[in-house]
């Protein structure tokens, strides 16, 4: 695809994670940044191979060297965004990987205690929705991340843990506001299977309802109609979301998106008209 993507990921952390060094090496504070940089870099680079190598640290365990590199750079620069930009330049990536907040922030995921969590348009499930709460008074997104959303033509909500990853980034108020006002078309790429650790008991429509409860705009949903986590076109329509059903599952692991299938679906989407051809 001929584009320079901007990837925005959460660097929020669970306060109960304990050891600050461990959190820096293995938490979302750096893990999602590293994974995104790897996805945009070429495998043939020696530096890329180096940051993927597991490093054993006494009492901490084995983690990719890149986690420690990013954590160290962030402390040196005093800024996770600057650390990610610098490492991205060394890797020669096209585009940028940015944190959703200017600094790591504590996050709590709480049960929503009201009757609206049960059922809803299209039924839903017997599971309980949760709410992402940022436990800090100072919550700000990098200006570059806000600007990237505002100037984008397409904004993709990537698959991943709904609360720990997707909402921990998109529910940051500055980014939620940018998503509401952008001229970009916002496409949610749905997960293929439920996550027993993140969304136990929730149906596909519950995932969408959770996004909406956090104020995250969704214009269209790209999903596999054969996935375990099902989405029904009629339910999406009730929410004003255009359905884009495509075969996306890997043939070897039905919980994982096949990269070639997903890439093909996105190419088709980006070349289509913004409205009338989405559901074909």
pLDDT above 50 for 28: yes
The per-residue pLDDT for 20 is 47
Name the token pair of 88: 């991205």
- Based on the fold, state whether residues 142 and 78 are members of the same structural domain: no
Query: pLDDT-derived band of residue 227, with 50, 70 and 90 as boundaries?
Result: very high
pLDDT at residue 121 tops 70: no
Q: At which of 82, 99, 116 does a domain end?
A: 99
Place of tokens 């599971």: 127
Does residue 78 carry a pLDDT above 80?
yes
Which backbone phi and psi does 151 adopt, to 5 degrees? -95, -5
Domain enclosing residue 265, as ranges: 107-271
Do residues 134 and 185 share a domain? Answer: yes
Number of domains making up the chain: 2
CA 43 to chain centre: 22
Task: Please report whether residue 26 resides in a domain.
Answer: yes
129 shares a domain with 86 = no
The pLDDT of residue 22: 45
* Size of the chain in residues: 280
Report which of 207, 266, 263 is spatially closest to residue 235, judged by C-alpha positions.
Answer: 207
Model confidence over 196-220: pLDDT tens digits?
Answer: 888 888 999 999 999 999 999 999 9
What integer best gives the mean pLDDT of the chain? 86
């Amino acid at each position: 695809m001929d584009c320079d993507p901007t990837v925005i990921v959460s660097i929020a952390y669970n306060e109960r994670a304990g050891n600050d060094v461990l959190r820096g090496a293995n938490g979302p504070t750096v893990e999602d940044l590293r994974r995104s940089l790897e996805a945009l870099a070429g495998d043939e680079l020696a530096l890329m191979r180096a940051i993927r190598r597991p490093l054993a640290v006494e009492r901490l365990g084995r983690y990719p060297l890149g986690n420690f590199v990013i954590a160290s750079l962030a402390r040196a620069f005093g800024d996770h965004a600057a650390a990610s930009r610098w490492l991205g330049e060394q890797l020669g990536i096209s585009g940028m990987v940015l944190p959703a907040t200017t600094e790591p922030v504590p996050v709590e995921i709480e049960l929503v205690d009201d009757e609206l969590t049960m059922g809803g348009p299209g039924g839903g499930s017997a599971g309980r929705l949760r709410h992402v709460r940022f436990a800090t008074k100072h919550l700000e997104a990098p200006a570059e991340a806000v600007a990237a959303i505002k100037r984008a033509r397409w904004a993709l909500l990537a698959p991943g843990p709904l609360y720990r990853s997707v909402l921990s980034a998109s529910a940051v108020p500055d980014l939620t506001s940018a998503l509401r006002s952008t001229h970009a078309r916002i496409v949610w790429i749905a997960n293929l299977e439920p996550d027993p650790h993140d969304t136990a008991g929730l149906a596909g429509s519950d995932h969408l309802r959770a996004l909406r409860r956090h104020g995250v705009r969704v214009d269209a949903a790209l999903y596999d109609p054969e996935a375990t986590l099902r989405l029904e076109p009629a339910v999406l329509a009730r929410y004003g979301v255009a359905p884009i059903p495509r075969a996306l599952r890997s043939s070897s692991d039905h919980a994982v998106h096949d990269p070639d299938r997903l890439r093909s679906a996105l190419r088709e989407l980006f070349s289509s008209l913004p409205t009338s051809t989405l559901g074909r």
